[in-house]
Structure 1
Amino acid sequence: MTVEDQNQGEYRPRTARELRKMKEAEEKKKSQAEEGAHAEETAEQVSLHNPNEATAPSVERVEPVSVPADADELNQLREEMEALRRQAEESQQTAEDLQRKLKDSQEQVLRVRADLENFRRRSRKDREEAVKYAALPMIESLLPALDNLERALAAGGSGGDDVLHQGVSMVYRQLVQSLENHGLSVIEAEGLPFNPHEHNAVMEVEAEGVDAGTVVEELQKGYRYHDRVIRPSMVKVSS
């Protein structure tokens, strides 16, 4: 039956069930209208807080597409890598060679410095000894004269002119004093153990009450100039 038929026909009152359904339908429409209004309000607030997100169009992510390299290009890259590797090895070898040469040079410098210091020390010592022993040739040349004066004094002690003996003795003492002032000293010998560095044994004799290897008699005086023996004593040693 159409609406016009209903209008033309006799009016029929609605039942309670029909009224309830009509009420539920109206409430459902009202609820849907409220939900739609709430959704529009929420979207408007989001667009105000994040305008870029609201207006910017979505962009899809594009994955890079791998393009196969040409064979010649790959070979060229391999050759370049190999050349770089060889260059790195050569640079490493060169660095090691330079470090080794530097170490050798440093050691050589240290050796040269040590040699130079030793040379300076020897030169200084040689100069000091040259000054210290500068008068040695003259003193050695005076030793025979000193021996003759001692012999003359020993021979004149048994008799003769006392004045001459006193004069020779005075000259001898002055000469000995002058030589001692310049570093000459007499080597002690008689009664001491034989020392091969200071004594020259020309005879070995038996002596009672004396230990073997003891100097029992001095035949000629020995002399030391500073700390150097310039003439050993000529002695007799007990056997």
Structure 2
Amino acid sequence: MADSQDKGAFRAEIPLDAVEEALRSVERISRGAAAREEASSEVELEGEPAAPADAAEVAQLRAQLELSQAKGREVLEKLREEHERLLRAAADLENFKKRAAREREEVQRFGNEQVVKDLLPVVDGLDRALAAAPAGDAVADGVRLVRASLEQALAKHGVSAFSAMGARFDPVAHEALLQVPTDAQPPGTVVLEHARGFKLHGRLVRPAMVGVAVAAGPDRRSEG
């Protein structure tokens, strides 16, 4: 395909005056060489040695050649600079495409984060209702089904809940609401959970609201 072959190539226009000057130089050199060859042939036929080339003409030709070479180097330098500019432009465009793709993916994955945050208090309310319901309560069974349906709907959009009970307190994933003096668990252990934590596609949306164990004081141990 022509498109694939031309990919990465570039074009640059050589100044018209440089081209014309080079052509004129070639024509002058050709005419001069032909004239000298003709003169040399005539002299040889007469039996006389060929006349030496005119020094001024040679100097002029040399100057024209040097000028053409200088212009050629100038054109090559401009081509090199243009090539480098095009390479930088192509690299900038590629970086822009990658950044735009990342931002588009980010919007698709986390664009509904605010909606998820607005629904989390509803899930918390269902959790607290189930925690307060007596065992075997038929209403609690219905609430449990509603909560399961809601969590399944959230899971379809990348939302997942996690519990912190019994885990080591992590300030990144947990929010400590209170300290609980106790010797039953090592200090720094989560012993109460007011609300579960939630993530959206692995990103923390809300930390778990917890109570953290601390060492019981002397007064509390004597009371025990």
| TM-score of the two chains, using structure 2 as the length reference | 0.58
RMSD: 3.5
| Residue in 1 that maps onto 2:210 | 235
After TM superposition, the structure 1 stretch with the greater mean CA deviation from structure 2, 134-143 or 220-229, is 134-143
Change (3 A) 1:209 1:98: farther
Structure 2 regions of 5+ residues with no counterpart? 1-46, 215-224
- Counterpart-to-counterpart distance in 2, 1:153 and 1:65: 120
For residues 133-186 of structure 1, what are the alpha-carbon distances to aligned partners after superposition, in whole Å with 9 as ceiling and x for unaligned?
Answer: 344332221111111121222233389xx3333322221222122212321111
- Counterpart-to-counterpart distance in 1, 2:210 and 2:65: 82
- Counterpart-to-counterpart distance in 2, 1:208 and 1:151: 27
* Helix, strand or coil at the partner of 2:94: helix
Residue 108 of structure 1: which of 79, 85, 94 is its match? Answer: 85
| Residue in 2 that maps onto 1:14 | none
- Counterpart-to-counterpart distance in 1, 2:120 and 2:86: 50
| Residue in 2 that maps onto 1:198 | 173
- Counterpart-to-counterpart distance in 2, 1:219 and 1:121: 42
* Helix, strand or coil at the partner of 2:169: coil
Task: Judge conservation of contact 1:224–1:230 (CA < 8 Å) in 2.
Answer: yes
Q: Given residue 198 of structure 1, which amino acid in structure 2 is its aligned partner?
A: A
- Counterpart-to-counterpart distance in 1, 2:61 and 2:191: 92
| Residue in 2 that maps onto 1:12 | none
Cα drift, residue 231 of structure 1: 1.0
Cα drift, residue 86 of structure 1: 4.5
| Residue in 2 that maps onto 1:178 | 153
- Counterpart-to-counterpart distance in 1, 2:50 and 2:103: 89
Corresponding position: 1:137 with 2:126: no
- Counterpart-to-counterpart distance in 1, 2:66 and 2:49: 37
Cα drift, residue 128 of structure 1: 3.0
| Residue in 2 that maps onto 1:169 | 144
* Helix, strand or coil at the partner of 2:192: strand
Change (3 A) 1:174 1:110: same
Q: Given residue 145 of structure 1, which amino acid in structure 2 is its aligned partner?
A: V
After TM superposition, the structure 1 stretch with the greater mean CA deviation from structure 2, 210-219 or 100-109, is 210-219
- Counterpart-to-counterpart distance in 1, 2:132 and 2:180: 26
Change (3 A) 1:100 1:173: same
Aligned length: 169
| Residue in 1 that maps onto 2:102 | 125
- Counterpart-to-counterpart distance in 2, 1:64 and 1:123: 79
Structure 1 regions of 5+ residues with no counterpart? 1-61
Q: 1 or 2 for the larger relative contact order (CA 8 Å, sep ≥6)?
A: 2
| Residue in 2 that maps onto 1:92 | 69
For residues 24-83 of structure 1, what are the alpha-carbon distances to aligned partners after superposition, in whole Å with 9 as ceiling and x for unaligned?
Answer: xxxxxxxxxxxxxxxxxxxxxxxxxxxxxxxxxxxxxx775989x9xxx86xx18x71x5
